[in-house]
Amino acid sequence: MSLMLPLKKEMWMQMESHVLRSDSYQSDLCPELIEMRKTEFLNQLTEANRDKIEKVTQLQKESGLLKEGNRLLSLNLEEYANYEIRHLEVHQHNKSLF
């Protein structure tokens, strides 16, 4: 929820900037058309921000999966190393018996 407030603020700032730059052009347009353009602009910003949020979410998921994969790999390597150590100890023990 806290992520949405900065996005809304950013959208309004971008819209106001866009409106200020195009005031002379828009003064020739009827109020309904101006409102439609503002709405369209806000919808485009919302969609762009939605895409950004989805990309960031996907990257976070991938990062989490990568970390989990690395943790499991590390665990497997540790288990394999312990297995090899036990195998060498048994081999050394058997060798000392003869």
Summarised one tens digit per residue, pLDDT across range 51-98 is 888 998 999 999 999 999 999 999 999 999 999 999 999 988 888 887
How far apart, in whole angstroms, are the C-alpha atoms of residue 17 and residue 30?
20
Residue 42 makes CB contacts below 8 A (sequence gap 6+) with 11, 15
Give the burial class of 92: count Cβ atoms within 10 A of its Cβ; 0-12 exposed, 13-18 middle, 19 or more buried.
exposed
Residue from 7, 11, 49, 44 nearest 36 by CA: 44
Residue type, 24: S
This prediction has a pTM of: 0.42
